[in-house]
């Protein structure tokens, strides 16, 4: 028999790929008996199946809810049969649209990206653990969005377009730009056109041009240049930073992987970091950030890491 380790032998026996006799040759008789005992016990276990009828009804309810918040959904995709129902729904959503100040809200979880089409044809790509909302009613007059986390915008030409993020705002006229604010770290990168950034309700607005970025760590403002034509995280494989505050980088890691991070007091979060981290594996990503700065990390709990 080829060289196989115990784990694989057990697995193959469990799947019936090798017989009891072969198993005993490799392992012991007692092991076989013990394994049989466990397997035959678990064999008798089950979990009550989902009540499909009820479950489907609950799911449908949820889908109907999302639909009200969601963008335009092609007619062919509707659950509701009958044109009358469809017309009624359109009438209702028309009322919702124009007669209330209901917000359209989009949320993403860790590891998720969402592309949102706005009513004027502009798009917003929402990065992980972020949310975006706007009032459809006043949209045609005033294009204004509220953002938490990070998003990349490609703005169609038209009236002013404002992104509010906590007490700061970014105003543009037809352009491509990225905004991120996690904790106190604000970053705005402009890829095309120009944008005006007003930080924390201040009186002055900083203008940044294509290929420029601005970063604010809660007290200091730094300007820098960017060579990319769009943010790297858009492709979903990695996130890149240039001269960003370390604290900002760790906030992005937290958002991407849904982890929590604790810092040793000696870790200086205002240090600058240039580099990137991958989205495929949390530990690799941590290493990519920690190694160049001679920091270490360790796992302190299921989704908790310590940096020291």
Partner 1 sequence: MNTNKSVCEQQNFNFLYEEHIDQLRNFLYYKCGDLDEAEDLAHESYTKLWEKCAEVVWETAKGFLFTVAKRLFLNKVSHDKVVLTFEKENPLKDKSEDPHFVMRGEEFKAKLEEEIGKLPERQRTIFLMNRIDKMSYKEVAEALDISVKAVEKSLGKVMKKLRGSIDELNKYKI
Which of the ranges 72-80, 156-164, 190-198, 267-275 carries the binding residues for partner 1, by CB under 8 A?
72-80
- Residue whose CB is less far from partner 1, 10 or 135: 10
Nearer CB in complex with partner 1: 76/82: 76
303 near partner 1, judged by CB under 8 A: yes
3: contact with partner 1 by CB under 8 A: no
Binds partner 1 by CB under 8 A, chosen from 2, 7, 21, 101: 7
The tokens for 30 are 């007692």
Between CA 126 and CA 116 the distance in angstroms is 7
CB of 95 to partner 1, least distance (A): 23
Q: Which stretch binds partner 1 (CB under 8 A): 36-44, 152-160, 169-177, 242-250?
A: 36-44
Token look-up 């459809």 returns 136
Alpha-carbon span 162 to 144, nearest angstrom: 5
Contacts of 27 (CB under 8 A, 6+ apart): 6, 9, 10
Whether the CB-CB separation of 273 and 282 falls below 8 Å is answered with no
Containing 149, the helix (H) or strand (E) segment is strand 143-154
- Residue 8 Cβ, how far from partner 1 at the closest point, in Å? 5
Which of the stretches 87-95, 119-127, 227-235, 296-304 binds partner 1 when contact is defined by CB under 8 A?
296-304
* CA–CA separation, 200 and 219 (whole Å): 10
| Site membership for partner 1, residue 89 (CB under 8 A) | no
Q: Is 300 in the site for partner 1 (CB under 8 A)?
A: no
Only one of the segments 74-82, 165-173, 224-232, 288-296 lies at the binding site for partner 1 (rule: CB under 8 A); that segment is: 74-82
**The token pair that represents 100 in the structure block:** 């209330």
Q: Which is nearer to partner 1, 56 or 221 (CB)?
A: 56
Taking the least distance from each CB to partner 1, the nearer of 282 and 289 is 282
Q: Are 131 and 106 in contact (CB under 8 A)?
A: yes
Kindly tell me which residue out of 22, 26, 31, 93 binds partner 1, with binding defined by CB under 8 A: 31
List, in sequence order, every residue forming a beta bridge with 304; answer none if it has no partner. 260, 301
Task: Report the residue from 1, 2, 3, 15 that binds partner 1 according to the rule CB under 8 A.
Answer: 15
Task: Tell me if 57 contacts partner 1 by CB under 8 A.
Answer: no
Nearest CA to 119 among 150, 151, 97? Answer: 97
Are 296 and 308 spatial neighbours (Cβ–Cβ below 8 Å)?
A: yes
Kindly state the number of chain residues that form the binding site for partner 1, as judged by CB under 8 A: 49
Closest to 102 measured CA to CA, from 53, 137, 144: 137
- What's the CA gap between 131 and 78, in Å, rounded? 26
Closest to 257 measured CA to CA, from 277, 241, 271: 277
**Residue number with CB closer to partner 1 (49 or 265):** 49
Stretch of 12-20, 137-145, 270-278, 292-300 lying at the interface with partner 1 (CB under 8 A): 12-20
Binding site for partner 1 (CB under 8 A): 5-12, 14-15, 31, 33-35, 37-50, 52, 55-56, 58-59, 62-63, 66, 70, 76-77, 79, 109-112, 257-258, 301-303
């Amino acid at each position: 028999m080829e060289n196989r380790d115990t784990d694989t032998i057990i697995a193959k026996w469990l799947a019936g790929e090798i017989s009891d006799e072969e198993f005993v040759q490799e392992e012991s008789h007692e092991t076989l008996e013990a394994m049989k005992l466990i397997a035959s016990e678990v064999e008798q276990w089950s979990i009550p199946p989902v009540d499909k009828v009820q479950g489907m009804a609950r799911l449908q309810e949820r889908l109907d809810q999302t639909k009200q918040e969601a963008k335009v959904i092609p007619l062919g995709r509707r659950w509701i049969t009958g044109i009358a129902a469809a017309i009624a729904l359109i009438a209702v959503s028309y009322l919702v649209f124009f007669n209330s100040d209901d917000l359209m809200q989009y949320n993403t979880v860790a590891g998720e990206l969402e592309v949102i089409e706005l009513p004027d044809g502009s798009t917003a790509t929402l990065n992980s653990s972020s949310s975006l909302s706007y009032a459809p009613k006043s949209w045609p007059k005033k294009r204004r969005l509220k953002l938490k986390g990070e998003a990349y915008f490609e703005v169609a030409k038209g009236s002013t377009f404002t992104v509010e993020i906590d007490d700061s705002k970014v105003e543009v006229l037809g352009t491509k730009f990225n905004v991120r604010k996690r904790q106190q770290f604000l970053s705005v990168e402009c890829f095309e056109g120009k944008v005006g950034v007003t930080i924390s309700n201040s009186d002055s607005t900083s203008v940044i041009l294509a290929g420029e970025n601005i970063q604010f760590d809660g007290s200091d403002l730094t300007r820098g240049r960017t060579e990319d034509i769009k943010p790297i995280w858009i492709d979903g494989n990695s996130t890149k930073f240039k001269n960003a505050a370390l604290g900002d980088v760790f906030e992005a890691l937290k958002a991407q992987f849904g982890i929590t991070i604790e810092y040793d007091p000696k870790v200086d979060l205002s240090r600058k970091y240039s580099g990137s981290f991958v989205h495929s594996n949390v530990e690799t990503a941590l290493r990519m950030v920690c190694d160049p700065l001679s920091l270490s990390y360790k796992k302190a709990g299921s989704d908790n890491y310590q940096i020291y």
